[in-house]
């Protein structure tokens, strides 16, 4: 679905680019000297910026300060607010029917593994050419982020495309670090064939017009979406992945886990939004995304029913007494949620493991792996520890880390 | 037939009780369940969701039911629900009440009557309802009646309770009216038409009418339902609850299993519909604030089954998962596993690896205790079952039951 996407902010910084998914170890060692060089480079960039008052665009380095920003724009009634409510506030899709039109910019911040800002723009405002009020474009586009342009596939989209192109022209000139994501939206009622046709047409027209305006190779990707199925979550997953610094390393960790434990597919989910922030390097597959994301839902629902209320002290005292004589903390194997479900069809298990408050690792395993769960759990433990460290480090914006060795490879059948 | 083999093979201790149990098994093996209500009220939709694993939005595809749609739903192996989904258009309704009257309304075990809460012509719906109830009381006076006030999702949240209460009150009044009509008719034509059925097991809930000789009051249960949430599962779980054979024994066994593995809660689900057949909750588990958790579990697992079926490409009625384990740190652990041929079991436990693993083994070991869930096997001896299924109030099948004796044990 996505095409012509030029290097965006999510691509690894230059010093990391030797880190190919095919490496046997999840994370590469980086010498302190290289890191120091990198830091000096970053400081330089910032100094230039302060002096000139002009942003120096550097698409390859993710800003340490400031939160990545998602800017949602598009024509009035194209479904921008519905999208942000469904994805970021868990509103049931059916209830978006009653939403009112947005009158001013809605700024939301999203606390998750990374802090995001979501800005929802009213469709009737043209921020570049507004007679009554001039917008501070630096304040809007200054941060690293993505522009999400929503096009209503059921409506006449020629005006939307020309507005999109005006925006792209502006952005290319002053803020080329912003990636542009076009959502061809409301496609749920269209047939499969027609969807492909419409996205091709939108893409062709956009790129044609941009070519006429003299913009080549703009970082635009196109997605087909609907709030009534998983496509909107998948599209946002891809958008957010571009904003994650050093995504390659996350992917490498997952890929390595997949190979060691013979997983078919592994995802790292943001539990609250059901966006996956990384997966292994095997090709995209919507059906496995759907089942993994629904699995997260099942776990959330079960936890609500059985895990969200306090047990009595007697209950705890009894459990900690004979015959165990251990505190509950000592009796459990893992303090976070862990779960396995064996599908009846060819006995494929699906596993879920919580990484921290926000993230969960979900993987589809190969047939017959259930018997090796103990070993797999140990490997997963190592990867989870690696992931936790990874986020601590990227959050602090500090140095990278060394990887850890897997606990013994599984014998191949 | 093997029903008899199983009977004679058992210990002599409870031979009388055995015979009674066998008789009851035969009687309720095939239950006639009428599903009625006006056209478009959602009868076929709910049937498809509960028994054919549709998800709520799939029901948009369903067209109107023409005449009567008969289906035999296998439930727990040895119990077949003879589900009569009666198309609700007026012409059909009149036909049921006139030409097909005795055919439709005789030997009914359960009547499920569906009201559309958003119906524009409420009075008229009630009128039809009175006719149906009169016919039912006339032909199968021991049938159980369940009233589902359906499409509650269409009522604004803050009005739901009031609207529901109003509907229930109206239906209750009409039920009494219908009974009164039949009573009068019967008195007119001479009270000699007493039914031959000698069953003395009238449900205790049914209060006796003033006349005393003929108990014509119908015991009605009400539910507010919607296909878009778990309320549908609550209603249907209650409907099938009383149809489950050997229920007292299942409950006793489940309780001893729960105590043995130190569980907080155990739920037993029927395999295809995922309706809760039986449940047991510990003292601690009783403090769970989620009173609707049983139907919620049905709903969650059913939705999950649907996801699995689109992932694996297997038919949606097929079995989708065999084992599920979930350990939530120091909060709780649980597992769902295939239990007997026709059931799944959910066990919710206190946290702890050792407890979890031993519970899994114990539950697997307990399978033989529940064997008779799957076939017409009467539990052995009286040690397990002090409560051999005492009459739970199903005389409805009456003479019809004998005709179905030829049925062999269900194939697995």
Chain A contact probe: residue of B352, B354, B356, B357 with most A CBs at under 10 A: B352
A162 shares a domain with A105: yes
Tokens, residue A228? 């009534």
Crossing angle between the packed helical segments B293-312 and B231-241, to the nearest 10 degrees = 100
**Predicted local distance difference test score (pLDDT) of residue B388:** 33
A85 shares a domain with A179: yes
Q: Give the Cα separation of A174 and A137 in Å (integer).
A: 9
* Chain B residues inside the 8 Å CB shell of A292: none
Q: What is the mean pLDDT of residues A139-151?
A: 85
Residue A39 resides in a domain = yes
Categorize the per-residue pLDDT at B13 as very low, low, confident or very high, splitting at 50, 70 and 90. very low
* Chain B residues inside the 8 Å CB shell of A334: 327, 329
A285 shares a domain with A383: yes
Categorize the per-residue pLDDT at B325 as very low, low, confident or very high, splitting at 50, 70 and 90. very high
- Give the chain B residue whose CA is nearest to the CA of A331: B352
CATH code, domain carrying A49: 3.40.50.300
Q: What is the mean pLDDT of residues B208-217?
A: 47
Count interface pairs A-B at CB distance under 8 A.
127
A223 shares a domain with A133: yes
Residue A406 resides in a domain = no
B350, A298: Cβ pair inside 8 Å? no
**Predicted local distance difference test score (pLDDT) of residue A35:** 63
Q: HSE on the CB side for B277, CA within 13 Å?
A: 31
**Predicted local distance difference test score (pLDDT) of residue A60:** 41
* Chain A residues inside the 8 Å CB shell of B351: 319, 328, 331-332
Residue finishing a domain among A219, A243, A267: A243
Q: Give the Cα separation of A260 and A255 in Å (integer).
A: 9
Number of domains chain A contains: 2
A197 shares a domain with A264: no
- Give me the percent of chain B exceeding a pLDDT of 90: 24
| Average pLDDT of chain B to the nearest whole number | 77
Q: Give the Cα separation of A41 and A243 in Å (integer).
A: 20
Q: What is the mean pLDDT of residues B105-123?
A: 89
Q: HSE on the CB side for A103, CA within 13 Å?
A: 1
A319, B353: Cβ pair inside 8 Å? no
Residue B298 has pLDDT above 90, yes or no: yes
- Give the chain A residue whose CA is nearest to the CA of B310: A287
* Chain A residues inside the 8 Å CB shell of B327: 332-334, 337-339
B304, A294: Cβ pair inside 8 Å? yes
**Predicted local distance difference test score (pLDDT) of residue A364:** 92
- Strand B332-338, strand A115-120: pairing: unpaired
A306, B288: Cβ pair inside 8 Å? yes
Tokens, residue A235? 């599209």
B36 to chain A, minimum CA–CA distance in Å? Answer: 29
Q: Prior bond to B330 cis, omega within 30? A: no
**Predicted local distance difference test score (pLDDT) of residue A22:** 40
A324 to chain B, minimum CA–CA distance in Å? Answer: 9
B352, A340: Cβ pair inside 8 Å? no
Categorize the per-residue pLDDT at A399 as very low, low, confident or very high, splitting at 50, 70 and 90. very low
**Predicted local distance difference test score (pLDDT) of residue B312:** 86
Put simply, whether A342 touches B (Cβ < 8 Å) is yes
Q: Give the Cα separation of B309 and B319 in Å (integer).
A: 9
Residue A4 resides in a domain = no
Question: Bigger pLDDT: B217 or B127?
Answer: B127
Put simply, whether A302 touches B (Cβ < 8 Å) is yes
Question: Bigger pLDDT: A36 or A243?
Answer: A243
Please say whether the structural domain B26-241 has been given the CATH code 3.40.50.300: yes
Same fold, B26-241 and B247-384: no
A308 shares a domain with A178: no
Residue A266 has pLDDT above 90, yes or no: yes
B350, A319: Cβ pair inside 8 Å? yes
* Chain B residues inside the 8 Å CB shell of A285: none
Q: Are B240 and B75 in contact (CB under 8 A)?
A: yes
Tokens, residue A138? 């630096």
The values of phi and psi at residue A16, to 5°, are -100, 0
- Report chain B residues touching chain A, CB-CB < 8 A: 264-265, 284, 287-290, 293, 296-297, 300-301, 303-304, 307-308, 310-312, 314, 318-332, 334, 348, 350-355
The position carrying tokens 């409560």 is B387
Chain A contact probe: residue of B265, B320, B322, B336 with most A CBs at under 10 A: B322
Q: Give the Cα separation of B149 and A75 in Å (integer).
A: 42
- Give the chain B residue whose CA is nearest to the CA of A303: B328
Residues 6+ away with beta carbon under 8 Å from B55: B49, B303, B306
- Strand A359-365, strand A349-354: pairing: antiparallel
A299 to chain B, minimum CA–CA distance in Å? Answer: 8
Q: Give the Cα separation of A171 and A146 in Å (integer).
A: 11
A300 shares a domain with A235: no
Q: Are B36 and B92 in contact (CB under 8 A)?
A: no
A228 shares a domain with A125: yes
Residue A405 resides in a domain = no
Categorize the per-residue pLDDT at B276 as very low, low, confident or very high, splitting at 50, 70 and 90. very high
Tokens, residue B136? 């039912």
B357-375 tens-digit pLDDT: 999 999 999 988 887 666 5
Question: Which residue in B289, B312, B330 is closest to A328 by CB distance?
Answer: B330
Q: What is the mean pLDDT of residues B327-349?
A: 91
A267 shares a domain with A304: yes
Residue finishing a domain among A204, A222, A243: A243
A353 shares a domain with A389: yes
For residue A318, what are the domain limits? Answer: 247-396
- Look at residue B366 and give its three-state secondary structure: coil
How distant, in Å, are the alpha carbons of A16, A356, B179, B272 from that of B208?
84, 62, 12, 38
ipTM of the complex: 0.75
For the ranges A31-40, A195-204, B90-99, B216-225, the lowest mean pLDDT is seen at: A31-40
Q: Are B303 and B55 in contact (CB under 8 A)?
A: yes
CATH code, domain carrying A355: 3.30.450.190
Residue A7 resides in a domain = no
Question: Bigger pLDDT: A139 or B299?
Answer: B299
- Give me the percent of chain B exceeding a pLDDT of 70: 75
B311, A291: Cβ pair inside 8 Å? yes
Categorize the per-residue pLDDT at A184 as very low, low, confident or very high, splitting at 50, 70 and 90. very high
Residue A55 has pLDDT above 90, yes or no: no
- Any idea where the domains of chain B sit in the sequence? 26-241, 247-384
Residue A13 has pLDDT above 50, yes or no: no
Q: Are B76 and B31 in contact (CB under 8 A)?
A: no
Closest by CA to A122, choosing from A65, A75, A66, is A75
The position carrying tokens 């995802």 is A267
Categorize the per-residue pLDDT at B19 as very low, low, confident or very high, splitting at 50, 70 and 90. low
Q: Give the Cα separation of B34 and A78 in Å (integer).
A: 47
Categorize the per-residue pLDDT at B215 as very low, low, confident or very high, splitting at 50, 70 and 90. low
Residue B399 has pLDDT above 60, yes or no: no
Question: Which residue in A290, A337, A340 is closest to B328 by CB distance?
Answer: A337
Residue A412 resides in a domain = no
DSSP for A128-197, please give it.
SS-SS----HHHHHSSSEEEEEEEETTS--HHHHHHHHHHHHHHHHH-TTSEEEEEEE-GGGS-HHHHHH
A282 shares a domain with A339: yes
The position carrying tokens 């029903």 is B3
Categorize the per-residue pLDDT at A235 as very low, low, confident or very high, splitting at 50, 70 and 90. very high
B139-197 tens-digit pLDDT: 887 888 999 999 988 888 888 899 999 999 999 998 888 888 888 887 776 544 444 44
Residue A228 resides in a domain = yes
- Residue B348, Cβ density class (10 Å: 0-12 exposed, 13-18 middle, ≥19 buried): buried
The length of chain A is 413
A306 to chain B, minimum CA–CA distance in Å? Answer: 7
Residues 6+ away with beta carbon under 8 Å from A87: A232, A233, A236, A273, A275
Categorize the per-residue pLDDT at A290 as very low, low, confident or very high, splitting at 50, 70 and 90. very high
Name the DSSP class of B162: H
Q: What is the mean pLDDT of residues B302-318?
A: 86
Q: Give the Cα separation of B204 and B397 in Å (integer).
A: 19
Q: What is the mean pLDDT of residues A253-275?
A: 91
Chain A contact probe: residue of B153, B263, B266, B351 with most A CBs at under 10 A: B351
* Chain A residues inside the 8 Å CB shell of B288: 305-306, 309
Q: How far apart are the first and last CA of chain A?
A: 36
The position carrying tokens 């480079």 is A41
Put simply, whether A339 touches B (Cβ < 8 Å) is yes
* Chain A residues inside the 8 Å CB shell of B321: 341-344
Q: What is the mean pLDDT of residues B83-107?
A: 88
Question: Bigger pLDDT: A175 or B265?
Answer: B265
A409 to chain B, minimum CA–CA distance in Å? Answer: 24
Residue B8 has pLDDT above 90, yes or no: no
| Average pLDDT of chain A to the nearest whole number | 79
A161 shares a domain with A44: yes
Tell me the sheet residues that pair with A179.
A146
Q: What is the mean pLDDT of residues B25-33?
A: 66
**Predicted local distance difference test score (pLDDT) of residue A92:** 82
Question: Bigger pLDDT: A253 or A2?
Answer: A253
B316 to chain A, minimum CA–CA distance in Å? Answer: 12
| CATH of the domain spanning B247-384 | 3.30.450.190
Question: Bigger pLDDT: B394 or A209?
Answer: A209
A79-132 tens-digit pLDDT: 888 998 888 888 888 778 777 888 888 888 877 777 888 888 888 877 777 666
Q: Per 3-state DSSP, what percentage of chain B is helix, strand, and coil (rounded to 5)? A: 45, 20, 35
Chain B contact probe: residue of A271, A293, A307 with most B CBs at under 10 A: A307
Categorize the per-residue pLDDT at B401 as very low, low, confident or very high, splitting at 50, 70 and 90. very low
């Amino acid at each position: 679905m996505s095409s012509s996407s030029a290097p965006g902010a999510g691509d690894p910084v230059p010093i990391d680019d030797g880190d190919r998914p095919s490496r046997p170890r999840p994370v590469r060692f980086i010498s302190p000297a290289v890191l120091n060089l990198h830091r000096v480079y970053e400081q330089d960039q910032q100094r230039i910026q302060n002096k000139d008052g002009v942003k120096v665009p550097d698409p390859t380095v993710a800003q340490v300060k400031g939160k990545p920003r998602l800017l949602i724009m598009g024509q009035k009634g194209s479904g921008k607010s519905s999208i942000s409510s469904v994805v970021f506030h868990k509103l049931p899709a059916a209830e978006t029917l009653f939403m009112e039109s947005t009158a001013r910019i809605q700024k939301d911040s999203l606390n998750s593994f990374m802090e995001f800002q979501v800005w929802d723009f009213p469709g009737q405002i043209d921020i570049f050419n507004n007679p009554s009020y001039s917008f501070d474009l630096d304040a809007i586009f200054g941060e690293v982020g993505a522009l999400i342009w929503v096009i209503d596939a059921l409506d006449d989209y020629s005006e939307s495309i020309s507005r999109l192109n005006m925006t792209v022209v502006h952005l290319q000139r002053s803020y080329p670090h912003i990636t542009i994501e076009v959502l061809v939206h409301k496609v749920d009622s269209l047939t499969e064939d027609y969807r492909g046709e419409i996205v091709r047409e939108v893409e062709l027209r956009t790129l044609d017009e941009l070519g006429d305006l003299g913009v080549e190779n703009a970082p635009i990707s196109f997605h087909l979406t609907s709030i009534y199925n998983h496509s909107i979550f998948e599209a946002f997953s891809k958008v957010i992945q571009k904003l994650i610094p050093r995504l390659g390393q996350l992917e490498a960790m997952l890929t390595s886990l997949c190979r060691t434990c013979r997983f078919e597919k592994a995802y790292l989910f943001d539990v609250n939004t059901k966006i996956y922030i990384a997966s292994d390097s095997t090709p995209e597959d919507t059906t496995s995304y759907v089942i993994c994301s629904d699995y997260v839902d099942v776990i959330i629902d079960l936890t609500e029913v059985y895990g969200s209320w306090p047990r009595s002290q007697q209950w705890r005292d009894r459990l900690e007494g004979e015959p165990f004589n251990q505190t509950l903390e000592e009796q459990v194997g893992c303090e976070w949620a862990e779960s396995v479900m064996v599908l009846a069809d060819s006995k494929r298990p699906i596993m879920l493991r919580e990484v921290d408050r926000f993230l969960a690792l979900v993987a589809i395993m190969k047939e017959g792996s259930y018997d090796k769960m103990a070993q797999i759990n140990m490997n997963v433990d190592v990867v989870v520890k690696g992931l936790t460290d990874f986020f601590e480090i990227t959050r602090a914006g500090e140095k990278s880390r060394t990887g850890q060795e897997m606990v013994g490879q599984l014998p191949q059948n | 037939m093997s029903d008899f083999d199983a009977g004679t093979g058992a210990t002599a201790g409870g031979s009388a009780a055995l015979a009674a149990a066998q008789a009851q098994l035969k009687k309720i093996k095939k239950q006639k369940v009428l599903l009625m209500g006006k056209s478009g009220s959602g009868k076929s939709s709910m049937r498809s969701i509960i028994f054919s694993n549709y998800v709520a939005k799939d029901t948009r595809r369903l067209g109107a039911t023409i005449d009567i749609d008969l289906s035999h739903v296998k439930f727990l192996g040895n119990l077949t629900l003879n589900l009569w989904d009666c198309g609700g258009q007026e012409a059909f309704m009149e036909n049921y009440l006139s030409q097909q009257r005795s055919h439709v309304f005789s030997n009914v075990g359960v009547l499920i009557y569906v009201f559309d809460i958003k119906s524009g012509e409420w009075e008229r719906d009630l009128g039809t309802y009175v006719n149906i109830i009169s016919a039912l009381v006339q032909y199968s006076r021991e049938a159980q009646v369940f009233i589902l006030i359906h499409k509650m999702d269409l009522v604004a949240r803050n009005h739901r309770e009031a609207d529901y209460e109003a509907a229930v009150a109206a239906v209750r009044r009409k039920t009494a009216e219908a009974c009164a009509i039949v009573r009068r008719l019967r008195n007119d034509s001479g009270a000699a038409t007493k039914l031959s059925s000698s069953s003395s097991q009238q449900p205790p809930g049914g209060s006796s009418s003033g006349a005393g000789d003929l108990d014509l009051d119908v015991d009605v249960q009400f539910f507010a339902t919607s296909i878009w949430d778990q309320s549908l599962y609550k209603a249907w779980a209650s409907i099938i609850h009383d149809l489950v054979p050997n229920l007292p024994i299942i409950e006793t066994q489940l309780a001893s299993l729960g105590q043995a593995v130190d569980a907080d809660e155990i739920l037993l689900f029927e395999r295809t519909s995922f309706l809760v057949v039986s449940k047991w909750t510990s003292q601690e588990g009783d403090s769970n604030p989620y009173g609707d958790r049983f139907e919620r579990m049905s709903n969650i697992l059913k939705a999950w089954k649907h996801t699995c079926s689109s992932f694996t490409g297997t038919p949606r009625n097929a079995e989708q998962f065999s084992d599920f384990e979930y350990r939530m740190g120091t909060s709780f652990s649980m597992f769902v596993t295939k239990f007997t041929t026709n059931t799944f079991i959910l066990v919710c436990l206190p946290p702890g690896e050792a407890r979890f693993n031993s519970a899994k083994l114990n539950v697997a070991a307990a399978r033989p205790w529940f064997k008779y869930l799957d076939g017409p096997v009467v539990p052995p001896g009286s040690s397990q079952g002090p409560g051999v299924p005492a009459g739970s109030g199903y005389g409805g099948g009456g003479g019809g039951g004998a005709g179905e004796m030829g049925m062999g044990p269900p194939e697995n």
